[in-house]
Amino acid sequence: MEKMKNEILMELKKKKLTLNQLCKSMHIKGEGEVTSFINILNELEKDGQIYLDSNGYYQEFNTYNLKKVQGIINISKSGNGVMFVSENGQTRKFSIAKKDLAGAMDKDIVVLKDLKKGNSTYIFAKVEKIIHRTIGKAVFEYKDDNTLVSYNMQNNVVVVCPKEQLKQIVTGNRVLVNIGKDLVAKFDDKLVFDGTVDRIIGHKDDPTIDIKTIAANHGFFTDFPPQVEEELKYIPNTVSEKELEGRIDLRNEVIFTIDGKDTKDMDDAISIKKDEDGNYILGVHIADVSHYVKKGSALYEEAKMRGTSAYLATSVLPMLPHQLSNGICSLNEGVDRLTKSVVMKYNKNGKLLDYEINDTVINSNKKMNYQDVNKLLENNEVVLGYENFKDDLLLMKELSEILSSNREKRGNINFGSNEIKTKTDETGKPISFVKCNQKTAETIIENFMIAANETVTRHYSYMNVPFVYRVHGNPSEEKLIKALKMLKDENICDPMAIDRLINKITNSKCTSKDLSEFLEGFKGEEQHAIISGIILRSMSKAEYSPVNEGHYGLALQYYTHFTSPIRRFPDLTVHHLIEEYKTFENLEAIEHRLPGICEHSSFMEREADKAEKETLELKMAEYMKEHVGMPFVGTITQITPYGMSIRLENNVKAIANKEDIVKRIPNKKGNGSHRATFKLGDTVYALVKEVSIPHRAIYLSISDEPIKKKKKKTKQKKLTK
């Protein structure tokens, strides 16, 4: 195939050719050969190596000659698009207004035309055509006139589906639709595409329909297929004596879980003690999900497809059915559970001296929660039911602090938590949005899970066998320098500190420790969240890989995910690998299957993150719907050619379009106002202008001086005799 691709490219270097001309010049004959040939052309087009024009001519894709670019488009909540294209070591940023998307969806591969340099760092462009639908699914609502209208896309897309697929659908149903990439028709401002119905999500009047809509848009569903339900009939509810054969019995050890108050899928438990030499003996005990979810089963295939559990406000869309996730696999208090345990010995300096990885059985002594553990450890409060575990918790705190110190020394980057959680009433109605601050209990669990993950990874890496790694690549020097220069331009950082860091990056001497120390310098300051957010956006995302590239953010050479097999498929895969490496059979088959698992798991992780983010935005929109016309104070967190993002004083995130941004300072004549430049971190006064539930967006009018609440117009009553 590669040889054929090279021959096609050589032909198209000479001149542009139609499909028939290409087939003739390359001696392609017969229906089968032509079909295969077209598939190769499609691949070359998708890879951006060739271009097919509106007249049916193929040619080499040359940006300079064509005055077009191709790449992956990212579409924001406001409906505008952005594309980053790297050429000759430089990255260009293209901005596409929502009216110019031509039906493109987030992550589609598209060709851009009409490239025009604006008065900013962006190049403005329009979508000429869609080359490939990366996701190709969106939610539509069925209307009375037999049409499917987009529920939350902002570019007026209409889909035409086969009539037989619409027979089971009633007016008001929301359905997940597979959308074609080719425009079928255009009338008024509507863009018509072919499509097929994937599944019915529910009715628009269902109480939880909006969360189901978001979940479905990202590939997460509440129901499981019949094959999975059938297999569940044979899953036990308790651990039998036969299942204990070959396992180390830890049921008499002091072992407990620490989770959120409402957590039901508990896949990790911990234990600690000291030996006669004063060394810490830390046990991390993880639910042995692989014992129940066998490779090749319907349960396994469904978990593989889902990739992860999604936590959407008060809803959980689990990777595994509740019978497993909340039942036999969950390390519930007072019941026997099968586990894989990593028992590690650390000296007083936090150096790992020895470890064991074994199949075990435990019986958790206590289901603890973060809030109560923090009361005990931070406030020295007496917590009912925790009396017998105080010494263990204090010892855990002691070891955790040593591990935290070691993490800091090696250059672990702490971006801080910008996570916001929704507080709801009993009906699910949002009542407030709170920042998640990591305290002592949360840090203990984080440190111990990282320790277990690193230990398992190093063990199997030294064995030189195929494995799943959690990798985080070194940041792009170009992107990092660009982010630092932005901070300098916005004057929200010490310019000398930025210059020192840029100098190190330029001379390839910058390590994760340098970046960690830079961010640590702003800890506790008001701007820390903005600074860390900008730096974080310049970094590559962590992902799963069969190749060990290390973890830059954690400053670790060996890392995987082993500790959450109930809710993450890569962790479950690692558990299966541990089983397989007891015999070392079929190494070639293992090596063959891991790349696909890693790629899909990374993709589904990103989709779950998006679904969780959109659910938070939905709850914010629901909450702010009742505050339209009301004034707030906010902080600018991001600026684009189309406007800016604002974090309001109640932690709600909102948008101000550029036409709604006014700086009310007198002009030279002293009789009016004009627009002026705001900067990141500036405090602004905002008025809630509009809220869109489908787009999960809150639109503001903003100014640099207080805005008065709009008065509602009242109609004068007519006098009647």
Instruction: Identify whether 113 is part of a domain.
Output: yes
In this predicted structure, the answer to whether residue 633 has a pLDDT above a threshold of 70 is: yes
> Quick count: other Cβ atoms within 10 Å of Cβ 54?
7
pLDDT tens digits, one per residue of 274-317: 999 999 999 999 999 999 999 999 999 999 999 999 999 888 99
The total number of structural domains in the chain stands at: 6
Q: Where are the beta strands (DSSP E) in 347-505?
A: 352-363, 366-369, 420-424, 430-435, 469-471
pLDDT tens digits, one per residue of 207-223: 889 999 999 989 999 89
Among residues 385, 403, 383, the alpha carbon closest in space to that of 395 is found at 403
The torsion angles phi and psi of 52, rounded to 5 degrees, stand at -110, 115
Res 675: pLDDT: 46
CA atoms within 13 A on the CB side of 708: 3
Over residues 427-432, the mean pLDDT reads: 90
Q: Is 245 helix (H, G, I), strand (E, B) or coil?
A: coil
Same domain, 299 and 387: yes
Same domain, 306 and 385: yes
Same domain, 353 and 446: yes
Over residues 550-554, the mean pLDDT reads: 94
- Residue ranges in 324-417 assigned as alpha helix (H): 370-379, 390-410
In this predicted structure, the answer to whether residue 572 has a pLDDT above a threshold of 90 is: yes
> Range with the lowest mean pLDDT among 21-35, 162-176, 483-497?
483-497
- Contact yes or no for 5/44 (Cβ under 8 A): yes
d(CA 414, CA 399): 19
Same domain, 118 and 186: no
Compare 667 and 178 and report the one with higher pLDDT.
Answer: 178
Instruction: Identify whether 687 is part of a domain.
Output: yes
Res 676: pLDDT: 52
d(CA 199, CA 219): 11
In this predicted structure, the answer to whether residue 451 has a pLDDT above a threshold of 80 is: yes
In order of 269, 373, 444, 456, 692, the CA distances from 257 in angstroms are 4, 11, 12, 20, 41
Which CATH number covers residue 693?
2.40.50.140
Q: Please, which pLDDT band fits residue 135 given cuts at 50, 70 and 90? A: confident
- What pTM, to 2 d.p., does this model score? 0.85
Say which amino acid occupies 30: G
Res 78: pLDDT: 73
Res 716: pLDDT: 45
Instruction: Identify whether 186 is part of a domain.
Output: yes
Same domain, 47 and 93: no
In this predicted structure, the answer to whether residue 154 has a pLDDT above a threshold of 80 is: no
Q: Which helix (H) or strand (E) holds 122?
A: strand 122-132
d(CA 607, CA 352): 36
Determine the structural domain holding residue 17 and report its residue range.
2-61
Which CATH number covers residue 141?
2.40.50
Res 358: pLDDT: 97
In this predicted structure, the answer to whether residue 715 has a pLDDT above a threshold of 80 is: no
pLDDT tens digits, one per residue of 654-671: 999 888 888 655 444 444
Res 336: pLDDT: 98
Res 669: pLDDT: 47
Res 490: pLDDT: 77
Tell me how far apart the 2 most distant CA atoms of the chain are, in Å: 100
Mean pLDDT of the residues in the chain: 90
In this predicted structure, the answer to whether residue 86 has a pLDDT above a threshold of 90 is: no
